[in-house]
Structure 1
Amino acid sequence: MFTGIIEDLGVIEALNQEDTNLHLTIKSKLASELKIDQSVSHNGVCLTVIDLSPTTYTVTAIKETLDKTTLNSLKLGAIVNLERGLKLGARLDGHMVQGHVDQVGQCVGVEEQNGSWIFRFEYDSSLGNVTIEKGSVTVNGVSLTVVDSKDNGFSVAIIPYTYAHTNFHTFKKGSIVNLEFDVIGKYVSRLYAKTSIS
């Protein structure tokens, strides 16, 4: 479990394909504090540390993960949002994030508003995911509050700190992102779908 509060911006140092798996080596200040088998969120995708050096660590993404997330489009030098797993007893500053991406979405608009930014995203609503205004959503691993909710999209407001300390500053119209929808909302939506059928 994660909180959606980004700890560091990592840099992709190496990408090594092995059969259908992709090994990603990331340079991060967190590397010296990690251990083998630890879970780390990468743009919202939970992956397990398999190798370490003083300044880098390596994780592996399997085919299913590559097919359902944006990890397969990462290039050398790409900036990645990083967060270590939630520590029990710590404050929960974001919201409960599983690190299991539900689907990818696309940035369809960026609007600067006197020091903050409004980002608009769209996604395929046929997969059954929903947002609500003032509800939670995770974009590339960042816990955010929905400003405006539509059937196939939503907007979020980004403050300068978040803009500078996550990879939101790299987004532009057309950028593809990982989306994880609120786990409570997913359960409610699934239960509602079952009761409306019967």
Structure 2
Amino acid sequence: MFTGIVTAIGTVREARQSGDLRAIIACPFDPASIAIGASIACSGVCLTVVERGGTPGDAWFAVNISGETIQRTVPGRWVKGAAINLEPALRLGDELGGHIVTGHVDGVGQVVEITPVGDSKRFVIAAPTELAPYLAPKGSITVDGVSLTVNAVEDQADGACHFTLNIIPHTAEVTTIGTLAEGDGVNLEIDVLARYLQRMQALRG
């Protein structure tokens, strides 16, 4: 489990195909704090550490990324030089600063519009049809591993929807959200509570 509070930005140092895709991600962690077999959310994707090394502040860890994961996440995300939002798994007693995040990407959205509003930026993101029922104003959404609050939802004629977010300067600075541009893809994970409520409602119907 995660909270959607990104603790660092990593960089894909190497990515090579050998059965599954194996990626090495450079990060500012202490390698002694990264356990083999531990889970780390990488831009919203829960991945298992299979190797680690480096020095404190200049560490790296390796993960294997399955074809299923690649198909369900933003195309071209796992390439050398790509910036990745990182969050280690939640530990008992840690502060739940965002919301409950599983690290299972539900779909890919697309940035439709970015508009400055004061010091912040207003993002409009298009979500696919299958995710539209799970999005609601003031509800939670995970975008590239970042816990955010939905400001508004606008349903589209094709069944998809557009939702808006307010990105404050701090969020833009400490995550990759600040580098996004119109047309970019983003990994989306809906609120786990919304998933269960939708399932319950469907069974009752």
Class of the TM-score when normalised by the shorter of the 2 chains: over 0.9
Counterpart of 2:152 (choices 124, 148, 151) is: 148
Deviations along 1:60-116, whole A, 9 cap, x unmatched? Answer: 111111111126433211110000000111110000000000011101011111210
Q: Does 1:93 align with 2:103?
A: no
* Runs (5+) with no aligned partner, structure 2: 156-160
Q: In 2 relative to 1, CA 126–71 (structure 1 residues): closer, same or farther, beyond 3 Å?
A: closer
Q: Matches of 2:135 and 2:30 in 1, distance apart?
A: 34
What is residue 38 of structure 1 aligned with on the other side? 38
Amino acid at match of 2:14: A
Counterpart of 2:167 (choices 141, 158, 173) is: 158
Deviations along 1:11-58, whole A, 9 cap, x unmatched? Answer: 110001012x11111110125221110100000000000011112110
Deviation at 1:149, TM superposition (A): 1.5
What is residue 183 of structure 2 aligned with on the other side? 174
- Paired residues of 2:23 and 2:78 also in contact (CA < 8 A): no
What is residue 139 of structure 2 aligned with on the other side? 135
Q: In 2 relative to 1, CA 129–23 (structure 1 residues): closer, same or farther, beyond 3 Å?
A: farther
| Secondary structure in structure 1 of the residue aligned to 2:151 | strand
Aligned residues: 195
Q: RMSD across aligned C-alpha pairs, in angstroms?
A: 1.3
What is residue 194 of structure 2 aligned with on the other side? 185
Q: Does 1:9 align with 2:18?
A: no
* TM-score normalised by structure 2 residue count: 0.91
Q: Matches of 2:193 and 2:131 in 1, distance apart?
A: 16
Q: In 2 relative to 1, CA 167–101 (structure 1 residues): closer, same or farther, beyond 3 Å?
A: same
Q: In 2 relative to 1, CA 174–7 (structure 1 residues): closer, same or farther, beyond 3 Å?
A: same
| Secondary structure in structure 1 of the residue aligned to 2:150 | strand
Amino acid at match of 1:24: A
What is residue 194 of structure 1 aligned with on the other side? 203
Give identity over the alignment, percent.
37
Stretches of 4+ moved more than 2 A in 1? Answer: 71-75, 126-129
* Runs (5+) with no aligned partner, structure 1: none
* TM-score normalised by structure 1 residue count: 0.94
Higher alpha-carbon deviation: 104-113 or 125-134:
125-134
| Secondary structure in structure 2 of the residue aligned to 1:73 | coil
Counterpart of 2:80 (choices 70, 73, 76) is: 76
